[in-house]
Amino acid sequence: MKTLPEIKLAIIGLGYVGLPLAVEFGKQRAVVGFDIDNERILSLKQGIDATLELEECQIKDAKNLSFSSNMDDLKSVNTYIVTVPTPIDINNTPNLSPLEKASRMIGKYLNEGDIVIYESTVYPGATEEFCIPILESVSNLEFNKNFFVGYSPERINPGDKENTLTKIKKITSGSNPDTRKLVNDLYLSIIIAGTHSAASIKIAEAAKVIENTQRDLNIAIINEFAKIFNVLDIDTKSVLDAAGTKWNFLPFKPGLVGGHCISVDPYYLTYKAKEVGYQPEVILAGRHINDGMGKYVATQLVKSISNKGIPIINSKILILGFTFKGDCPDVRNTKIIEIVKELNSFNIDIDVYDEWADPSVVLNEYSIKLEDNLIEDTYDAIIIAVDHTEYKSWGETKIRKLGKKNHVLYDLKYVLELGESDIRL
């Protein structure tokens, strides 16, 4: 088994998870930051991070980090950390193709004594049942004899400048006791908050997938509360504020649940549960509620427009924000697209404005052209869909000026104070 100084590291995948990891390790040891996206590599070599997670000075501070999209640069590596995405398909079934491709690539370069550590979120058992057989098949090496595997689930929160990589406790695990210790020691070298060494890879996988599943369910119950309170004509936030005066009431808010984690990970767990003969009920009920919130928001808005005597067909609506969360450029799995789709079914003219989002990405992935110039007295309705700091600074007066004299303002994210908008979730 290798010692910590002998580790020659490569980070496979340089997105929201992989880049911060590569930079932190690159401050103290030689690291190859690898990604198949050559444009991403060229930008990173110039110190430019399109995800806005890291600034140029932070990237260049990692003196021992090199960026590459050339697989031959992995020949000198003996330890790999895999941080590729694990999405779901149209049927909410795990799509492990990025993980498969990464494992096959690593298998071609795997040598005696090498270690492969996975960070991608998966269902319990995926590393040993799916990834390791690929590594064995491609490399012709035997698991836990010729090469070893670890699992340390990512806990990155995109856009969060407070709870950054080194400040979040890290779960680690390994395929045998020696690997478990080495993997733990490797992460301890950069994680200020410390680590938790799990007894097995499956435990570490399960711990990660239930973190986001629990959060998804907490938001789902709040969303259901909001639906009930809307029928009862009670302001949801006021109810939550009152209930929140009790010390053990959890401070969740209603809203759209998008992004690459919370809205995806529960399906990984339920997939595995079904595979072993257990039919999950509560988890899928929460997913059903959260997946339907985009349509619910659109329906609420249309009702409000109608109640104001505004013709629905050919009305003009502005959606402020398209990213899946505030002050973050990430548009992966944004649920705002569900609002757009539902409103389109009413023959409504929709403009979307978001200076955080990359216009080319939004156009390519969602066929939506972002507005770059807003004109006052234009819209029949305005939805504040994302709580970007920009919209908070605008305030009610500036936002309402974008609307016609008779318009509806829907504050989906509690950006404004009570009474400043016409409807709130």
| Residue 334 buriedness (CB in 10 A; 0-12 / 13-18 / 19+) | buried
| Nearest of 297, 364, 362, 360 to residue 334 by alpha carbon | 362
Q: For residues 87 and 104, what is the distance between their CA atoms, to the nearest angstrom?
A: 18
Q: How far is CA 240 from the centre of its chain?
A: 25
Instruction: Give me the residue label for tokens 């973190």.
Output: 211
Q: Reply yes or no on whether 131 is catalytic.
A: no
CA dist 308 → 303, 304, 348, 409 (Å): 9, 6, 16, 11
Task: List 174's β-bridge partners, or say none.
Answer: 150
Q: For residues 203 and 178, what is the distance between their CA atoms, to the nearest angstrom?
A: 17
Q: For residues 19 and 11, what is the distance between their CA atoms, to the nearest angstrom?
A: 8
Active-site pick, 57, 131, 261, 328: 261
What letter does residue 109 receive in the DSSP assignment?
Answer: H
All residues at 6 or more sequence positions from 89 whose CB lies less than 8 Å from its CB, including other chains = 95
| Nearest of 221, 209, 208, 198 to residue 286 by alpha carbon | 221
62 close to 26: Cβ distance less than 8 angstroms: yes
All residues at 6 or more sequence positions from 328 whose CB lies less than 8 Å from its CB, including other chains = 52, 158, 159, 356
CA dist 65 → 11, 23, 182 (Å): 10, 7, 21
* Residues with a known catalytic role: 261
